[in-house]
Structure 1
Amino acid sequence: MKFVAFERKLQGTGASRRLRFAGKVPGIVYGAGEPAVIELDHNALYHAMKKEAFHSSLLDMELNGTVTKVLLRDYQMHPYKQQVLHVDFQRVDATTKITKKVPLHFVGEAESVAVKTDKCTVNHIITELEITCLAEQLPEFIEVDLSGLTVGHSVHVNDIKLAAHIKIVTHGKPNPVLATAVPPVVEEIVVAAAPAADKGKAKGKGKK
């Protein structure tokens, strides 16, 4: 994905506020050289950020006629408005080693025995994984095949087939669960017994 950034002349809280009023977003680019303060068109950035790839893949940033590879590292949103307040990008090259979260794409769920035969519900326990790799080798997403899932079983991190250059960061967890098959809930209908007649009252009806 490609986006256009512009050099930001003025800095400070007041200047950033005026930029936002003008439909711009202040930002910064760091790494591989001196930091550069930039501004971007808010609407173009806002719509780009709705796309998954903008958050998890290398981006081409055009600034002053030069295209540079960057990663979106951080952003700040308004507490209640649909407004981007600030963005941070990191310059990267072929030798830059990065650690970044990548979304998981689950496939084959409907064809699994757990869903097709046993009518299970598949819970996606984790929807993204943190990985370490060279920037140019960053995958846009990681595919998780659920076609072999059976009732009572789960798919773990170790079940994913990854390229040798990609390392998963699990923060001490040995083999986290990614998805699990949950059997359908069987509802039991309990029929209440009819209340027994009050024998005492029945016997006392004919007595005076």
Structure 2
Amino acid sequence: MSGDIEFTLEAQSREDVGKGASRRLRREKKVPAVVYGGGKDAQSLTLNHNEVWRKLQFEAFFSHIITLEIDGKQKQQAIVRDLQRHPFKPLIGHMDFQRIVADQELQVRVPLHYMNEEESVGVRMNGGEISHLESEVLVGCLPKHLPEYIEVDLANLDVGDTLHMSDIQLPEGVRLVDLDHGEEYDRGIVSCHMPRVTTEEDLEVEEPEGEEAAEAGEEAGEGEEASGDESGEESGKKSGDSESEEG
């Protein structure tokens, strides 16, 4: 399941750290990063933003061993531990990598791939719908056993059935970390149920009539006007505060 995909990122080591240095790097379309673990000191890195962004389009990037080529001469294998994105722009703010050691177990979140949904008994024979309750699971394994994803076959899932974490067929050498904590952590991951039928009662909305409607309209108008005044004052305060802080 790990496939033949390989990910390599070119990186440069850096000495300048801190918020100011990170801002300068982002303006230059670079990504500040750090790699740590494996019995070595943490190392600050710089990555090319566009190269990283292209790699992020692959789901496997987040559950795959990545080779970091540092300064064109040093190679370290690692996994992505954290990635910070801009709240609304297509920009990466920072990345954390953890070095891997061949004989040390990793704990990584791996995506679930649900197979045979449309061919499942519940959908094909009984008109049911499939609901995904979990999209990924936390696995523990040695680096050589790390799966790119885990398949879950839904062919036999019928209406009213729920598959739990303990029902997952795991690859060799892989375990589910949550199940180490007891049966109460054996969560459902996918279920099949009948579609909800919308009735006329669901669509009915009571509307006020006559004087009640007029009073409701007047109250709404007064409420909006008051709200507008208050929000305007508050907006002005916030804008002023923001400007003073930036200045």
Common fold by TM > 0.5: yes
Residue 93 of structure 1 contacts residue 136 of structure 1 at CA under 8 Å; is this kept in 2? no
Does 1:169 find its partner at 2:177? yes
The answer for the alignment partner of 1:123 in structure 2 is 131
**Structure 2 letter corresponding to 1:140:** E
Deviates more, 1:118-127 or 1:56-65: 56-65
The answer for the alignment partner of 1:70 in structure 2 is 78
Residue 125 of structure 1 contacts residue 178 of structure 1 at CA under 8 Å; is this kept in 2? yes
Q: Distance in 2 between matches of 1:85 and 1:38?
A: 13
Q: Distance in 2 between matches of 1:188 and 1:88?
A: 50
The answer for the alignment partner of 1:178 in structure 2 is 189
Q: What runs of 5+ residues in structure 1 fail to find an aligned partner? A: 191-208
Q: Report 1:45-194 matches (<5 A).
A: 45-64=52-71, 65-170=73-178, 172=182, 173-186=184-197
Q: Compute the displacement of 1:37 (Å).
A: 0.7
Does 1:41 find its partner at 2:52? no
Match of 2:10 among 4, 11, 14: 4
The answer for the alignment partner of 2:229 in structure 1 is none
Deviation track 1:146-198 (CA, whole Å, cap 9, x = no partner) reads 011111111111211113521102255342111110113456679xxxxxxxx
Q: Distance in 2 between matches of 1:11 and 1:138?
A: 32
SS at match of 2:22: helix
Deviates more, 1:180-189 or 1:52-61: 180-189
Distance 1:189 1:15, change over 3 A: closer
Residue 147 of structure 2 contacts residue 171 of structure 2 at CA under 8 Å; is this kept in 1? no
The answer for the alignment partner of 2:37 in structure 1 is 31
Residue 145 of structure 2 contacts residue 172 of structure 2 at CA under 8 Å; is this kept in 1? no
Q: Distance in 1 between matches of 2:98 and 2:200?
A: 60
Q: Compute the displacement of 1:67 (Å).
A: 2.2
Q: Distance in 2 between matches of 1:35 and 1:186?
A: 56
SS at match of 1:162: coil
Deviates more, 1:160-169 or 1:39-48: 160-169
Larger Rg: 1 or 2?
A: 1
**Structure 1 letter corresponding to 2:34:** I
Deviation track 1:76-131 (CA, whole Å, cap 9, x = no partner) reads 11222221111000111211211111110000111111111111110001111011
Residue 58 of structure 1 contacts residue 136 of structure 1 at CA under 8 Å; is this kept in 2? no
**Structure 1 letter corresponding to 2:60:** A
Q: Distance in 2 between matches of 1:186 and 1:40?
A: 51
**Structure 2 letter corresponding to 1:78:** H
Q: State, as a whole percentage, how many aligned pairs show the same letter.
A: 36
Q: Compute the displacement of 1:30 (Å).
A: 0.4
* Higher percent of residues as strand: 1
Q: Distance in 2 between matches of 1:86 and 1:25?
A: 6
**Structure 1 letter corresponding to 2:189:** L
Q: Compute the displacement of 1:12 (Å).
A: 2.0
How many corresponding residue pairs? 190
SS at match of 1:35: strand
Q: Distance in 2 between matches of 1:75 and 1:25?
A: 10
Q: What runs of 5+ residues in structure 2 fail to find an aligned partner? A: 1-6, 202-247
Distance 1:186 1:79, change over 3 A: closer
**Structure 2 letter corresponding to 1:178:** I
